[in-house]
Copies of this chain bind each other. A is one copy, B any other.
Amino acid sequence: MGKYKRLPKHIGVIPDGNRRWAVGKGMSKHDGYDYGIGPGMKLYEACLELGVEEMTYYGFTMDNVKRPSLQTKAFQKACVDSVNALKEKDADLLVLGNTDSKVFPKELLPYANKRTKFGEGKMKVNFLVNYGWNWDLNHALKETTEESSTDFTKGIASKDISRMDMILRWGGRRRLSGFLPVQSIYSDIYVFNELWPAYKDEHLHEALSWYQETDVTLGG
């Protein structure tokens, strides 16, 4: 704590590269996801210690489930296991995604689309599960309140997730891939070439050191 002058309040995480990592280790693609759970917990604990207030993990999307069934099952399981691990670690948890589909893991239904405090509920943690950017935005067209009829952002499915200050992406791709289009508008995006299962706390510190040097203008 106090190590950084500027600390992002909300960090988004795109944990990409599980399949490439597995293949590099001589395993099958679907084996990679299981090795992504530990890194997720490690990063959460490092952020908690620093005083980060909110984190959002990009679990899997409605597009991802078009992949071979072995892979789909593997990342579904990795999400369930990750959420269960976060429950043990004082997360104030929101699982967000389209539950109107069999691909949404039923084990996560109790935590879907509402916030649940575990333990001391030390940090808001959002986990996107069977999420889709168009599903998220189209939600604004469905249920219109007085507020949401003039401000689109008040009606999206992810309206309870705050603006992300920084997005960390592993696996070298320099893009957002549909990760919360509204909350990522002003986010600083930091990309690691390392694959997600190879996460080290040094990565977080590298990104935070960079973050000290950049300014925040929110479009001004």
Contact = CB atoms under 8 A, between A and B. Distances in A.
Interface stretch (A4-12, A36-44, A116-124, A144-152): A144-152
A188 interface: yes
Copies of this polypeptide in the complex: 2
B185 A181 contact: yes
Q: How large is the interface on A (under 10, 10 to 19, 20 to 34, 35 or more residues)?
A: 35 or more
A108 to B, nearest CB: 21
A106 interface: no
Given A134-B153, A152-B134, A152-B140, A181 B182 contact: yes
Interface in A105-139: 133-134, 137-138
Nearest to A185: B178
Interface in A170-191: 172-178, 181-182, 184-191
Contact of A219 (B63, B144, B172, B217): B63
26 contacts: A61-B219, A63-B220, A66-B220, A133-B185, A134-B151, A134-B153, A137-B137, A137-B153, A138-B152, A140-B140, A140-B141, A140-B152, A141-B144, A141-B148, A172-B214, A174-B188, A174-B189, A174-B190, A175-B186, A176-B186, A176-B187, A177-B186, A177-B219, A178-B219, A181-B182, A181-B185
Interface of A: 61, 63-64, 66-67, 133-134, 137-138, 140-141, 144, 148-153, 172-178, 181-182, 184-191, 214, 217-220
